[in-house]
Structure 1
Amino acid sequence: MALFVQPWPIFLSINYLGLQACFLRVFMKIKLNNVCIFPLAQILNCVVYCIFVAMAAGLPFLNPYKSTDDADFRHGVNFAVAGSTALPTEILASENILSPVTNSSLSVQLGWMSTHFNSTCKTRGGWCVNQIKYLSFFLKQSTYCVEKLKNSLFMVGEIGGNDYNYALLPGKSIEEVKKIVPNVVEAIKNAVRRVIHYGAVRVIVPGNFPIGCFPIYLTRFQTNDTAVYDEDQCLKELNDFSKYHNDNLRRAIKDLKNEFPNVVIVLFTIILIFCFVMLYTGFDVMSLQKACCGIGGNYNFSLTRMCGAGLPVCSNPNQHISWDGVHLTQEAYKFMTGWLIRNMLHKLQCSV
């Protein structure tokens, strides 16, 4: 996933949200039903960052931009696509990395965002602005969009993880995959720059997860060599790789802050928060690295029999961090988003 915007919210793997004085109620007081509201039960169970943030802000859930229904985008837009990459598929293909899920990479999502804003925020008209008579309407519409974006939250990411998944899981070495990290980070940096040029003044950029703790990687690279695991039984080299990406992203955000000193850009340090969730938030210690939906091996996960129809699901998903070996459970996302909300208000220069 990648772009999300909210009030309008956007999720690009961008999301965009209307902040409404940032957040109107304390996040952890939100009551949730364990019912999935999207047709995504196979990959999620099922509330993720952008939904929790919208709920905390007192906003409706974000509609996907490509929704076939008459979607309401007044409070935000979700441009994210499951399985999408930061780099265009043709660039990945040139590195012998196949993107098997979708061609809707970050650049495609940014194109959708441009189309959406261009159609919503009319700033120019045809033939002398339709002979002047509609000029006042266009000016009002332009001002309306500018004001909306000033009071909106853009979330660009998490994106880039699939670029690495599609390289590492088939067998490329970490050293090989490190070569594309600067390009992935540059794509994210350019995405942030682009939303700022549209008028964003508050942007959150999530880093990547510690993939060495995920069942899919623990299964794929399982070994009897205890030296490759850390004290939490995660794969050290893969987590070091995630840190390498996040360090590059941190430098890119520092550059963007220098380039746009009047824009608030916040790095969401996912690795730190994931570790806190894993160790200190009361999840079942016997299931920290086991998928809730799945079967097989030490991690309840199989690359050949992934979560889907006919596979068992754990009796209490709220005690698990991993839903399907690849994605987190709703409960894990709730804890992580709670930390994000509690710790980002002052950084976003919001008043409650």
Structure 2
Amino acid sequence: MPSDLKLPDIRIFRSCKIGRIYQFGASFSDTGNDVVQDPMLASSRLPYAAGIPLLNPYLKNDVDFTHGVNFAVGGATALSAKALAEKDIMLDGTDNSLGVQVEWMSNHFASQCNTNISTPGSLHDSLFVVGEIGRNDYHSAYRRGKTFRDVQNMVPDVTEIIENAVKRVIGFGASQVIIPGIFPMGCLPVILTDFKSNDTSAYDENGCVKEFNDVITFHNDYLQRKIIMLQQENSLATIVYSDYFNGFKWLLSNAHQLGFDATSALEGCCGNDGPSRIDSSTDGCGGSNVPVCSNPDQYINWDGVHFTQKAHSVLASWVVAGLIPKLNCAAEAKYY
């Protein structure tokens, strides 16, 4: 990697003294709940920094939740299936929306009533991560033929659900809450495949679909305004926005310097989703006879939606470095 582009050493995150993490969200955060529900999923097969072990999924039986719980489920939405149906949006996947995940949290803490984990102040060293979520709501709407204006009109409802979830976790005693924004959907290979256009003005300087990213920017701005209000109402808690959007834009702009193949920055490694894909009948990643690139570390995107391990590592460095000064940590990230 060229010496003029430095990444933060996020091992300093351990100075935040986080004892447990409680994670909500969708597939970017799910460590196994979706697989527990459906063991036949392609993602159940291999290969699939805070100084604590990987969080166990809530739905898995007889596991150690000492270091926290992962409530996130692949494909989850912020809005419930009923609320989406009222907007004429049908779900293709799970109905384990954010509201359901928060109820799981409530049940989990109730089951711990005989331990000190549910006593006031016992969550002082715990980190709650509410999201990233909302992307599947918007994607489902697009797939139902909704316009960009229709989708933008969903933003107040989606962000209100996130706001209510944050209020619930604070009510349980959470003192440190991270609320991630959404990645630029218009840069995802699956979107670039499904909404391919001959109109060059539909794309930004990186080749991403402008209108998709405009809606996500609107969502993220709306969410940040809610976070400001939540912080004003809860002065004893630290409520932090995590800027996934600009983190990904930074990665994309510096792809070559970070060791990625810039010519395939918007292509999927598995399934070959992206702007140059021709065969629209190809099955998604995990299906039979689906092509997989031989050099995934040079790709940003893995399966058209999710990122490769290397891309996640780089993004984590950028995102966590921005979070450390805002959390109750003893030091700031250094760069190497």
Residue equivalent to 1:345: 324
Deviations 1:171-192 (A, max 9, x none): 2101111121100000001101
Counterpart among 118, 121, 134 of residue 113 in structure 2? 121
- Aligned match of 1:108 in 85, 97, 100? 100
Distance 1:111 1:296, change over 3 A: closer
Q: Does 1:331 align with 2:310?
A: yes
The reply on whether 1:218 has 2:192 as its aligned counterpart is yes
Alpha-carbon distance between aligned partners in 1 of 2:238 and 2:46, rounded to the nearest angstrom:
32
Q: What's the counterpart of residue 299 of structure 2?
A: 320
Return the letter of the residue paired with 2:318: W
Tell me: CA distance 1:44–1:346, structure 2 relative to 1, closer, same or farther (3 Å). Answer: farther
**Is 1:293 matched with 2:286?**
no
SS at structure 2 position matched to 1:327: coil
> Hey, what's the Cα distance between the residues in 2 that align with 1:45 and 1:241?
34
Q: Quick one: structure 1 residues 117 and 303, their matched pair in 2 at CA, closer, same or farther if it must change by over 3 Å?
A: farther
Pairwise CA distance, 1:119: 1.2
Taking a change above 3 Å as real, the CA distance of residues 115 and 144 of structure 1, as seen in their structure-2 partners, is closer
Q: Cα deviations across residues 34-70 of structure 1 (Å, max 9, x unaligned)? A: xxxx9976499867xxxxxxxx2221110000013x1
**Structure 1 unaligned residues grouped into runs of 5+:** 1-5, 15-37, 48-55, 123-140
Paired residue type of 1:350: C
2:6 aligns with none
Measured at CA, do residues 308 and 315 of structure 1 come closer, stay the same or move farther in structure 2, by a change above 3 Å? same
Q: State how 1:178-217 maps to structure 2 within 5 Å.
A: 178-217=152-191
Q: Distance in 2 between matches of 1:39 and 1:336?
A: 29
Letter in 2 for 1:98: M
For the residue of structure 1 that corresponds to 2:128, the secondary structure is strand
1:92 aligns with 2:71: no
Which SS does the other structure have where 2:123 is aligned?
helix
**Range 287-296 or range 234-243, more displaced:** 287-296
Q: Which runs of structure 2 are paired with 1:260-279 in the superposition (5 Å)?
A: 260-279=234-253
Amino acid at match of 2:24: L
Contact preservation (8 Å) 1:228, 1:236: yes
Alignment-derived partner of residue 73 in structure 1: 65
User: 1:268 and 1:303 mapped to 2: Cα distance?
Assistant: 36
Deviation by residue 1:280-327 (Cα, 9 ceiling, x = unmatched): 123111110000000467444847621113211111111111111111
Q: How many residues align?
A: 297
Distance 1:296 1:188 in 2: 30
* TM-score with structure 2 setting the length: 0.83
1:340/1:100 CA distance change after superposition, 3 Å: same
Amino acid at match of 1:183: D
**Residue-by-residue CA offset, 1:49-94 (whole Å, 9 max, x unaligned):** xxxxxxx2221110000013x1100011000111010001100001
2:163 counterpart letter in structure 1: K
Is residue 273–residue 304 contact of structure 2 (8 Å, CA) maintained in 1?
A: no
Give the AA of the match of 1:325. Answer: G
Q: Give the Å deviation of 1:231.
A: 1.1
Contact 2:23-2:129 at 8 Å conserved across structures:
yes
* Distance change in 2, residues 1:348/1:303 (3 Å): farther
Question: What is the aligned partner in structure 2 of residue 244 from structure 1?
Answer: 218
CA contact (8 A) 2:272 2:303 kept: no
| 2:228 corresponds to 1:254 | yes
Structure 2 matches for 1:144-155, cutoff 5 A?
A: 145-155=119-129
Shift of the alpha carbon at 1:342? 1.9
Contact 1:86-1:105 within 8 A present in 2 as well: yes
CA root-mean-square deviation = 2.3
CA distance in 2 between partners of 1:271 and 1:303 (Å): 30
Kept after mapping to 2: 8 A contact 1:216/1:325: yes
Quick check: 1:60 aligned with 2:53?
Answer: yes
2:302 partner letter? W
Distance (whole Å) between structure 2 residues aligned to residue 303 and residue 220 of structure 1: 12
Query: Once the two structures are superposed, what CA deviation does each residue of 1:97-131 show, in whole Å capped at 9, x if it has no partner?
Result: 11111111111111100000011134xxxxxxxxx
1:9 match = 21
Amino acid at match of 1:327: H
User: SS of the residue aligned with 2:225?
Assistant: helix
1:257, CA displacement in angstroms?
Answer: 0.6
2: CA distance between counterparts of 1:189 and 1:240?
Answer: 21
Contact 1:290 1:325 (C-alpha < 8 Å) held by counterparts = yes
Q: Any gaps of 5 or more consecutive residues in structure 2? A: 1-17, 27-38, 332-336
1:295/1:305 contact within 8 Å kept: no
Q: How far, CA to CA, are the matches of 1:88 and 1:144 in structure 2?
A: 27
State the SS of the aligned residue for 1:283.
Answer: coil
Percentage identity across paired residues of the two chains: 45
Structure 2 counterpart SS, 1:305:
coil
Deviates more, 1:185-194 or 1:165-174: 165-174
